Amino acid sequence: MSSIALRGAPVRQQIHWTERFAHAALLLVALALIAFLAAPLIAILQKAIEDAQGRYVGLANFVAYAKTPALLQSLWNSVWVSVVVTLVTIPIAFVFAYALTRSRMRYRNLARSITLVPLLAPSLLAAISLIYWFGNQGVLKSWLTQLGIEQIYGAPGIVLAEIFSTFPHALMILVTALTAADARLYEAADSMGTSAARKFFTITLPGAKYGLISAALVTFTLVITDFGIPKVIGGSFNVLATDVFKLVIGQQDFQRGAVVALLLLAPALLTFAVDHWVSRKQTAMLTARAVPYAPKRAPVFDALMSLYCLGTCALILAMLGMALFASFATLWPYNLAPSLRHYRMGLFDAEVGEAFANSLKMGVGTAVFGTALVFVGAYMLEKTQGMRPLRALVRLLAMLPMAVPGLVLGLGYIFFFNARGNPLGGLYHTLTLLTVCTIVHFYTTGHLTAVTALKSLDAEFESVSASLKVPFYKTFWRVTLPICTPALVDIARYFFINAMTTISAAVFLYSPQTKVAAIAILNLDEAGEIGAAAAMAILIVAANTIATCIFMGLSWWIDRRTQAWKQP
């Protein structure tokens, strides 16, 4: 009887040491995200409910903020400028995306490549270029007067520069949304004699509405949290991002700075929540029986779309071209002869060469270590089992950086790593902390890219390996990693380019020895050396362009080495 009972009882299987190793790796990822993401954000919240002596005061700091008219004006300025930029950028980007996906315009790939140029430049390049176009000594200063605008500094400059900066982000989302179209819907509409306008409003727009909402949310968040553009061209027009900097760096008022940081965090969190809700409501546009949409040739429509894209690309190149021209002009606007005066001034006299070297080090470190951390974390989440509570925590922390502006994250790093008794305090003012902060700031996009690549692999790889007693790390090294290598290259490129151009998080964390190139540009602009600032911005564009070409070459080599199985 007892033997029968024992025979029917469940047998407790021992956990293999490789699974314990996977759990340990997942725990390390969780600890890293807690230490470098969750803890700084908690430090901001703590600072917002304390007074200068560290005593708990509840909502007193928020009440004091609400009673400060100048700060409330900054909040209103941030909101309405962000709304205006969103309302202008989304239609412009939608028409461009529509031209790329629904017309037979020529040189489509070239136009698409030109729109990516703003991603290679720090956001303040647009502000610098606008000063040369429409500033007090600008080429087209008279145009502003004719339009009834007194000067480019302030809201007009911020709006124009932010449109240039956010356009490629909105375009990427809208191109993806419009690409997912089923040709059968349009064929059915054509067979019923439906007009082009009716097809647009009943098929195209409903199919792209979630992409439009996502693009609008991303654009609004990018504008309201941007620091570089308002700092360079904002003048006396204050916004939340510049208020945080003035309160913390200028006035050493950490409590009100924390309050403003939480205000900046609020719209980003709201945007993240709405985007998550929208993605859950979204239904699949393409089914297994879907037919890819191929636009038909329409000479008049194609010509109009070509002209529109040509004009948009010309404006983008004009922004970059003016900064490039001004960087070589000897003395604007009196002596426009080309020279290397500004480059020498920036690299040697202002010692930006060291800052540029720091940026390259940070970019490489972010690309290497960020890609490794992101991919290991994503792999442990998607391809291993057990530790459900820890797994849920890592998923939450991996998505959180998307809702945290860089300015808020940098401020949190000040409060947390500069606190007394913090064992990690030795990292403060080091290039290592700048690198870690950049990795955390852009973690979510890399994580989603890695998860997408891993989800495309059948779970049978791991099942078969487990049945054959093959340790998970061998499957990871021999199967998963080679197949996902193209995604790794994309993640590394994304990390490097953003590390070279980021300003908001780094502005609070650098020291004279760890200054990076984007911050050095801000300092040059403050010193009135706008020509040298333009030259350094162009150098960042050049470095990112070279890096992009290197990554493209690496991707081509990897495809030949590891992706031969995709070839017919």
Flag whether pLDDT at 557 surpasses 70.
yes
At which residue do the structure tokens 């650098």 appear? 510
So what's the pLDDT on residue 511? Answer: 86
Q: Indicate if the pLDDT at residue 208 is higher than 80.
A: no
Instruction: Annotate 36-50 with three-state secondary structure.
Output: HHHHHHHHHHHHHCE
The answer to whether 416 and 258 are in contact (CB under 8 A) is no
Secondary structure (DSSP) of 138-153: -TTHHHHHHTT---ST
Query: How is residue 325 written in tokens?
Result: 């021209």
**pLDDT attached to residue 53:** 82
pLDDT greater than 60 at residue 252: yes
**What does the pLDDT look like over 181-207, one tens digit per residue?**
666 666 676 677 776 777 777 777 777
* Choice between 269 and 275, residue whose per-residue pLDDT is larger: 269
Query: pLDDT value at position 288?
Result: 45
Contacts of 296 (CB under 8 A, 6+ apart): 104
| Token digits of residue 530 | 């706008």
Quote the mean pLDDT of the chain: 83
**pTM, to two decimals:** 0.84
User: Is a pLDDT exceeding 50 seen at residue 14?
Assistant: no
Question: What is the model's pLDDT at position 8?
Answer: 45
Of the chain, the end-to-end C-alpha distance in Å amounts to: 62
The continuous run of DSSP H or E covering 304 comes out as helix 299-328
> Which range, of 73-82, 161-170, 467-476, 489-498, averages the lowest pLDDT?
467-476
- Per-residue confidence (pLDDT) for residue 295, from 0 to 100: 73
Higher-pLDDT residue of 290 and 64 is: 64
Q: Domain 17-50+340-558 belongs to what topology?
A: MetI-like fold (1.10.3720)
Average pLDDT rounded to a whole number, residues 280-296? 57
Ramachandran region, residue 515 (left: φ > 0; alpha: ψ -120 to 50; beta: rest): beta
Spatial CB neighbours of 104, under 8 Å, sequence gap ≥ 6: 295, 296, 297, 298, 302
Count helices and strands (H / E) in the chain: 28, 2
Give yes or no for a cis peptide into 471 (omega within 30° of 0).
Answer: no
Residue ranges of the chain that CATH labels 1.10.3720.10: 17-50+340-558, 79-286+298-326
Residues 6+ apart with CB under 8 A from 400: 37, 38, 444
Q: Please report the pLDDT score of residue 458 as a whole number.
A: 56
Between 414 and 283, the higher pLDDT residue: 414
| Residue 568: pLDDT over 60 | no
Banded pLDDT at 367 (limits 50, 70, 90): very high
Q: For domain 79-286+298-326, give the fold.
A: MetI-like fold (1.10.3720)
- Whether the pLDDT of residue 515 is over 80: the answer is yes
